Structure 1
């Protein structure tokens, strides 16, 4: 599933721009499409928990996303793109959420961080492959007309039909009858390998707010990285390589961070990622060429490589198995609310004041998120006491 972002993230905004939309319209389009998805995702989470099954919804949402993105080639104007973006985003968000739920169920004997990281690394490998292949399907020249970008939405959406087929054989472990009963604290400590979970409901609320600020800042600004690269004279191939390079660094971090935080706690790694993100956004204001942006993008490994893994794991630390579908949907909704507003705001800032002003503003939001995480968010997986 993550591989599908390899064609969507680099080239959706340039495709909107090639279709005649300005940066403010692109941001509004992304925001409204996400709002619609936010309203539907918690309902899908509750439905999957009630059915105690993810597979049927995985197939349905994958097919929905595939059809929606294939129809991008026929869309013309703001409203058709809004409808298709909302449909595609719903499919993507559900598939992204359900991955964390299924891995949490399958990894009953392993540390949660290590288990989820192993799953997520393969998603990143898929992203790199799709991103690079998509770039080489396009013209090496800087031009990015709708015709130039047509192969993206001709071949890329076919991935969703493959995802639907694979979903038919994905393990969909049922809950044991007793697993719907919340565990007492001492039982949760045993289930967590001797570690006492301290997040709880209040801790989750604080985490969700910090996560909201993080997502608001990073992904509002990241929505315009392709257009920023284009403004610096980048060709489509350079844009795809820029995103792929960041994910290569992500894989290197992700392969270790889950295991490390199983032993040492989640919060230290989260603090590192939250503090580095505002620095990364400020560095974009100094970029003068596509190569400079590509170098800065290497910091993505310490952002999504950590947060993309540990956000799901943190939530799994704090809830019982029967609550994971609903709670992961709540986290997806939190991200969705951020992405409903931030692209529109960033688009307005970029259109009116330029890309540098946008990056500075989002860096300030990122600083607030880091401070809130440090001061208010509890550790969900305290290290086991050292003996002897």
Structure 2
């Protein structure tokens, strides 16, 4: 695999800024869900109400996810999208720090749920627009590594802040971290982002590059493999999303003071695994294909659910989070690569990213409510086992219905980042 030296040198500053954006944006965005669940449980909220509060943000996310992808496809001001979304996330975090009353929690979930859909597609679009198809696998894996490093740093910071100032300070910390996020975004140079590449590449017509314009409905409904993969993504997150929040709820009852440090430890383990393996996952997926990695990622999820029912030992539960890291590292990187594979030369890369995020959002939103109701009417053990069963169904569907999507090497036409025309980029 080529190094960054094969990409135009003037773009390196923007790439470093993109990586920094992934690092700091993770501090603001990721972890609010698990920490919020433990925070509300410690404030006396019942499991069913906790699940409903998390579901509100999920519903907003689901409604906006696909339209957000379409908007990202159309707008050239990618940096502005990131800045506005970051500011909205910060507003939601500040609101959570004010009070745990329903109006505050629900309003914050609307803000956080409304900003989130724009972040993932925009970051991936900026990546594709800077490095092109040839280097997207590797760079996107690196992005995920920086994202996870940010999660680790934030979890460590939150553990200290919550210990010194209480759980409400967690959300103030997330809001303050918006400042370095915006500075990193502004360091990405707009001229380094190729607009047509950022929305899904261009096609060759009579030897010339022209923007791709495949109809939306054909892109979304005309690809059976893509549709089945969206179903797999839905099932994966329906099984996965509730596990960590309800683990935090379970351990926060009777031990509220240790809830935030425990969640920090779980998040750190997960994110360290992602940080270490995400770049290698991108390289492996480019050389050996997507499906072998996806099989591993989907396969460890039912095992994790089962293990949660076998022990309440804190150290063991934290160690089980290694499996969470493996699953999320693979899905986080490879799912976007599958979308890139199936949308090449369509001009709809971000739209389909939004559709993937919609499937993920629906699964995650239903997961928290489903898990909360099972806990309320049965037990934590029944909830974990039920989620594990759904994960097993997702694994079987992936195994039987999704083929390898990695294109042949000669299909990298129209990619300005390829070695054949790197000098043109450097001019």
Distance 1:302 1:295, change over 3 A: same
Aligned match of 1:363 in 383, 388, 391? 388
- TM-score, structure 2 as length reference: 0.79
Alignment correspondent of 1:160: 178
Distance 1:214 1:248, change over 3 A: same
Report which stretch shifted further, 56-65 or 42-51.
42-51
In the alignment, structure 1 residue 272 sits paired with structure 2 residue 290: no
Q: Deviations over 1:92-151 (max 9, x none)?
A: 3321232222212222263432221011111111110110111022228xxxxxx72121
**2-side partners of 1:114 and 1:161: how far apart?**
28
Q: Deviations over 1:19-65 (max 9, x none)?
A: 33211011111112211222123222222222233222211111111
In the alignment, structure 1 residue 175 sits paired with structure 2 residue 229: no
Shift of 1:76: 4.2
Alignment correspondent of 1:216: 238
Shift of 1:301: 2.5
Are 1:250 and 1:300, in contact at CA under 8 Å, matched by a contact in 2? no
Aligned match of 1:4 in 13, 28, 33? 28
Alignment correspondent of 1:309: 333
Distance 1:154 1:266, change over 3 A: same
Alignment correspondent of 2:401: 376
Shift of 1:316: 1.0
Distance 1:246 1:359, change over 3 A: same
Shift of 1:328: 0.9
Shift of 1:282: 0.7
**1-side partners of 2:196 and 2:339: how far apart?**
20
Are 1:10 and 1:240, in contact at CA under 8 Å, matched by a contact in 2? no
Distance 1:37 1:384, change over 3 A: closer
- TM-score, structure 1 as length reference: 0.87
Where do 1:1-388 residues align within 5 Å?
Answer: 1-5=25-29, 7-108=31-132, 110-139=134-163, 148-172=166-190, 173-176=193-196, 182=203, 201-231=223-253, 233=255, 234-320=258-344, 322-381=347-406
Are 1:60 and 1:164, in contact at CA under 8 Å, matched by a contact in 2? no
**2-side partners of 1:258 and 1:285: how far apart?**
33
Q: Deviations over 1:321-373 (max 9, x none)?
A: 62112111111111111122111111111122121111000000000100110
Q: CA RMSD of the aligned region, Å? A: 2.6
What secondary structure, in the 3-state scheme, does the structure 2 residue paired with 1:293 have? helix
Are 1:220 and 1:342, in contact at CA under 8 Å, matched by a contact in 2? yes
Report which stretch shifted further, 203-212 or 223-232.
223-232
Report which stretch shifted further, 309-318 or 361-370.
309-318
Report which stretch shifted further, 13-22 or 279-288.
13-22
Are 2:29 and 2:89, in contact at CA under 8 Å, matched by a contact in 1? no
Alignment correspondent of 2:417: none
Number of equivalenced pairs:
366
Alignment correspondent of 1:194: none
**1-side partners of 2:200 and 2:408: how far apart?**
25
Shift of 1:4: 2.7
**1-side partners of 2:124 and 2:200: how far apart?**
17
Q: Deviations over 1:164-212 (max 9, x none)?
A: 333233244132599765569xx9xxxxxxxxxxxx8221111110011
- Structure 1: give runs of 5+ residues left out of the alignment: 141-146, 188-199
